[in-house]
A and B are shown apart, each in its own frame.
Chain A
Amino acid sequence: MLPVLGALVEGKELVETVIAATLAGVGVTFAFAVAIWGYGRSLELGGEERRLAAGLAAAVGALALLVVVGSIVAGIVVMTHK
């Protein structure tokens, strides 16, 4: 059964899709969660007058947000090049 299915399905594309989708999906969601964490922590630490730590948290959040925006741009590039 499996060899027959293997002959019908383009296995390489399937495996590549599963790996890339998992990495991209988890990666983008993780990056956005870090962006929110960074923003939230910077607010908390700023309220405690810990300005350096607040700045660092904000920077981590901003970097993560850049990753998300970069992923969206990459997504649009994928659409235009298919």
Chain B
Amino acid sequence: MGSDIIIVIVVGTALAFDFTNGFHDTANVVATSISTGAARPQVAIAVASLLNFAGAFISISVAATVAKDVVDADVITPTIVFAGLIGAIAWNLVTWYFGLPSSSSHALIGGVVGSAVAAAGFHVIIAEGLVGKVLVPALVAPLLAFLVAGLSIGIAYRVIGHQRPGVVSRGYRYGQLLSGGLLALAHGTNDAQKTMGVITLALIANGNLGPEANPPTWVIICSAAAISLGTYSGGWRIIKTTGTRIIKMDAAQGFTAQGSGAAVILASTHFGFPLSTTHVINGGVMGAGAAKRLSAVRWGVAGNIVLAWVLTLPAAAAIGALTYGVTRLFGTGAVGPVVVTLAALALIAAAFVRRAQRGAPVPVTEGGGR
């Protein structure tokens, strides 16, 4: 009975993480389209939401690989997964509050690593996996996207240099509908699978599924729906940062950031060297801006974003470890996760009440203003 309660809590928490992943990472998909006026904000977000939903059904091949390369899979229990998810959700909410686009995948990996270490010690970390699958890709993703976008926009400006601005601007805005759509589809494929993987992992650990089981249909549908709903909710704070605060973007730069970003993500997927969508698209935005003029990039904002990337793994790990420690105060049963869940829900409710008392936020308008 106790383990069934924990599983229900883990599934609910995983879907909550999926929701935060959706609204946190919406910016990656829609920010450049909104800031250049290629699409109206609500339309861009609705389309991204639908494509995220569709993307979740495209492939489930990586669904079972979450965190298994960075921690010893034998020590994983539903409670460890739960604590890791809380770490990831908390860090997603913190970075969302400050409008910083950080990687939800890294937050999830950090959370699970932290809770696993708290449960079984540092020896559970697989150093090769952590360096090769997480740290090096985290360094490569923004640099590669920066270079590709910078090179691409330089070539594009040479080709279109003597064309009428109206034709160029209109053309790139239409192009952004294509590049943004592809990015949304890729995001749904990559990120919804992580939640499917976490839920499947917990179901396997609890004995509900066999060791080699694929995600059940209900898990796929629920994960797709959660990330899609999260995307539809729209993380306006991060959209504003990515779309307008790093650089003042023209339509060509917006298309280049998205197009280069999609190319980098898909190339990395094809060759089995997966990169973070967040790191890629923000690196692309910086590259598209810097190629035009170095001073066009607000390096202070870029520095804050990079700092958030650096802090994501240790911060989510620390919260995951702390959460695991708190749950263990109540023993090994379901009481700990129940108490932590109730406390988290109370905190979120208090934040919403406080925000409601301050007044509703002003929505982002077309062109990126707020």
Contacts and interface: CB of A to CB of B under 8 A. Distances in A.
A29 B55 contact: no
Contacts of A17: 140, 144, 264, 267-268, 271, 273, 275
Contact of A36 (B160, B189, B275): B160
A9 B259 contact: no
Central interface residue in B151, B171, B271, B275, by most chain A CB within 10 Å: B271
A34 B161 CA distance: 11
B94 to A, nearest CB: 30
Interface residues of B, number: 51
Contacts of B127: 8
A29 B167 CA distance: 16
B364 interface: no
Contacts of A72: 178, 182
B186 interface: yes
A70 B147 CA distance: 24
Contacts of A81: 59
Interface string A1-39: 000010111100110111011101111111011111101
Contact of A79 (B132, B136, B266): B266
A35 B271 CA distance: 29
Nearest to B136: A9
Interface in B144-176: 144, 147-149, 151-153, 155-156, 159-160, 163-164, 167-168, 171-172, 175
Q: Nearest 8 A-B pairs (CB), nearest first?
A: A29-B152, A25-B263, A24-B263, A25-B148, A33-B159, A25-B260, A36-B171, A40-B163
